[in-house]
Structure 1
């Protein structure tokens, strides 16, 4: 299990980010207006929670970066992922269970031209929730669990591959260099064309 900890963490975090971004495009709320303006409106996730898509993209990037970073950044990224997961789960829960006026104000204003929290709240008759807030809450809880897993197992992850390291051991063979070896030498700051033979 520990041998695959990096791979598991990366896959789960990337998937959480992807679902977070996708949920921002889905309908979260159905709003029924009252009075002369009575009609139904829909509110997408990105409108209900403006930071949903940007933080989802951040989680995606963080997950990909985890596949190559060293020990210190594993802990840093684990903490960041945990913070994002907690914040996003809290915001999604607010929208799902409390239906704050701020979540629907922009949509109501676009449809009616009426602004102000009090005026918008007076126009809203009912707000119903789709399945997407619940799905998103579950995704962010999973992200929190994955972040904790990263923090617990990061020290035991296998080292990153040679192609991501600049401190690789010097070339053991004294034979002729091929194109790949020459490139690796240059990556380490060595000039493969320099002759170190003192003769």
Structure 2
């Protein structure tokens, strides 16, 4: 009777729950939102008699100033999640989710009232506030909305995926946090192991 070969233990961590995947996705989406704010969101056609230029390009960081700050908050939250404990991950997830909602609402407001969003820039160019002008929005507010929606998805996935991650502190009692566990080790786990003086290989 021949002995059976030992069965290799299957990984219980889904691919979507890998720390490196989720942190990278959150970072890229936050950068995408931030990048849209450096682009033109609104094009304003001014009366040449009242302004030095007929066309005014309003960037996202002027049309929706909150979006820039919320994108940076999401970016910081995504990076912090890679080293946070279980409770902290829930807090970070809530912050990212609120930031995502704020990004979407701010961009929708610009799409709904582009003239109102451009009033500050129009006043700076013409010296007259509350003036009328022909305005048109670009694609970038829509891109910000889509990226913000995916940020919200990442926020929901963060605490769920965190159940598969190794613990970061001695206060996190998750069973997967024991050093030398059999779970898969990603790039971030490897760096953390090196910082503790351990050999991840």
- Taking structure 2 as the reference length, the TM-score comes to 0.71
The aligned counterpart of 2:76 is 61
After TM superposition, list the pairs within 5 Å mapping 1:179-194 onto structure 2. Answer: none
Query: Is structure 2 residue 124 aligned with structure 1 residue 110?
Result: yes
Which has the greater radius of gyration?
1
By how many angstroms is 1:34 displaced? 4.0
After TM superposition, list the pairs within 5 Å mapping 1:13-92 onto structure 2. Answer: 13-34=26-47, 36-37=49-50, 39-92=54-107
Cα distance in structure 2, aligned partners of 1:107 and 1:137: 22
By how many angstroms is 1:37 displaced? 2.4
Query: Is structure 2 residue 108 aligned with structure 1 residue 93?
Result: yes
- Taking structure 1 as the reference length, the TM-score comes to 0.72
By how many angstroms is 1:17 displaced? 1.4
CA 1:80–1:36 in structure 2 vs 1: closer, same or farther (change >3 Å)? Answer: same
| Higher relative helix content | 1
Gaps in structure 1 of 5+ consecutive residues: 170-182, 186-199
By how many angstroms is 1:100 displaced? 4.7
CA 1:27–1:82 in structure 2 vs 1: closer, same or farther (change >3 Å)? Answer: same
The aligned counterpart of 2:146 is 138
Give RMSD over aligned pairs: 2.5
Gaps in structure 2 of 5+ consecutive residues: 1-12, 172-176, 179-194
Query: Is structure 2 residue 14 aligned with structure 1 residue 2?
Result: yes
Asked if the contact 2:33/2:143 (under 8 Å) is kept, the reply is no
Give the length in aligned residue pairs. 161
By how many angstroms is 1:42 displaced? 0.7
Match of 2:162 among 142, 154, 161: 154
